[in-house]
């Protein structure tokens, strides 16, 4: 497993990061099996583990904490805050009040004294970025956090955070965590170049585009995404009758041909494509089962040449999203009509 430096921090991280959203009630409920999965990843050379307080309402962090006992010093551990952790309106967001509490809760669940990378899970229009960076800087200076980052930030908010840190003397964001895949390439136009200009590491998630690139869909005899996927909440993302999903299915069918010509599974093509971008530091893989994990690990050494990347560009042009359902963040003026009406 090759290593790269995380956003100029000097911290060496593996090209694959183990994402743990599926450990716990949201996926693998067997704690013993989930812990063995973490150990399998570490034994394969992964030294980067990413979680979040909201995953299975804290259960994922607890599982990760158990799995890292005796191995914590060798692992770069990342977690996130922002999303609701209870009904109280102050138990969420990016305020100093919540950040301090959320960090202590995560440290307790993870069973550790420090977090290597503490990430803002989403932007918060109700909190000044100066307030957020001030609180995070205090956590870094206290030794409870080593570095800070963002997740799903648009390019303009990344820039604002960098400028605010410089002008106010705060610790600056060292990483960004966006969704990126063969089907979701929009960030190539702005987020990735912005991260490069500011010397930030990039940890991409959903390289299989929420299962569309798992190899289950498309091609001859491919499963119907509407019935093959387990998620009820995200069912519209897999309904082939919707125009965006029909376009994804068509693209997946063509991408599967590229993978077949290379003699590799489609997931290996998908993860190798994400790793090939010079802005990407690590690709977060989020398996639910041992089989999924070991299959993805088998493709860790695949490298794509220019001819293959050109074929991919012909199917999904650079900087474009086949559908717009993988951003998971919409600016407040687009979701709250009061912000665009006098």
Decide: residue 76, CB within 10 A, 0-12 exposed, 13-18 middle, 19+ buried: buried
Dmax (CA) of the chain: 58
Helices 266-275/290-297 angle, 10° precision: 60
In which residue are the tokens 């790793």 written? 275
**Under DSSP, is residue 90 helix (H, G, I), strand (E, B) or coil?**
coil
Tokens of 112: 């550790």
Please indicate whether residue 118 is annotated as part of the active site.
Answer: no
Q: Which residues contact 127 (CB under 8 A, 6 or more apart)?
A: 93, 94, 95
User: What is the C-alpha R_g of the chain?
Assistant: 20
Q: Select which of 55, 118, 180, 238 is catalytic.
A: 55
Which residue is listed with tokens 């420090």? Answer: 114
CA distance 239 to 337: 28
The residue with tokens 């969420």 is 92
Which residues are catalytic, by number? Answer: 55
């Amino acid at each position: 497993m090759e290593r790269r430096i995380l956003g100029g921090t000097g911290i060496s991280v593996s090209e694959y990061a183990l994402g743990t959203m599926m450990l716990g009630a949201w996926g693998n409920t067997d704690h013993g099996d989930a812990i063995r999965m973490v150990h399998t990843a570490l034994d394969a050379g992964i030294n980067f583990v990413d979680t979040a307080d909201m995953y299975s309402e804290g259960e994922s962090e607890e599982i990760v904490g158990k799995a890292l006992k005796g191995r914590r010093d060798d692992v770069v551990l990342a977690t996130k805050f922002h999303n609701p952790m209870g009904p109280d309106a102050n138990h969420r967001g990016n305020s100093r009040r919540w950040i301090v509490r959320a960090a202590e809760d995560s440290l307790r669940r993870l069973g550790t004294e420090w977090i290597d990378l503490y990430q803002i899970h989403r932007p918060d229009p109700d909190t000044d970025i100066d307030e957020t960076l001030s609180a995070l800087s205090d956590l870094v200076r206290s030794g409870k956090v080593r570095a800070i980052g963002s997740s799903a930030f648009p390019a303009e908010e990344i820039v604002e955070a960098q400028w605010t840190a410089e002008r106010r003397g705060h610790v600056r964001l060292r990483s960004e965590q966006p969704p990126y895949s063969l089907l979701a390439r929009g960030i190539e136009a702005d987020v990735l170049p912005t991260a490069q200009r500011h010397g930030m590491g990039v940890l991409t998630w959903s390289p299989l585009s929420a299962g569309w690139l798992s190899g289950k869909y498309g091609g001859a005899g491919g499963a119907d995404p509407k019935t093959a996927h387990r998620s009820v909440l995200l069912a519209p993302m897999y309904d082939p009758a919707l125009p965006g999903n029909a376009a994804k299915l068509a693209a997946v069918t063509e991408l599967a041909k590229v993978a077949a010509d290379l003699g590799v599974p489609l997931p290996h093509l998908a993860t190798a494509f994400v790793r090939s971008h010079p802005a990407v530091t690590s690709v977060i893989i989020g398996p639910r089962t041992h089989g999924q994990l070991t299959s993805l690990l088998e493709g860790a050494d695949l490298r794509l040449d220019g001819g293959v990347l050109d074929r991919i560009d012909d199917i999904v042009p650079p900087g474009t999203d086949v559908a717009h359902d993988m951003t998971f963040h919409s600016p407040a003026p687009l979701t709250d009509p009061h912000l665009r009406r006098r």
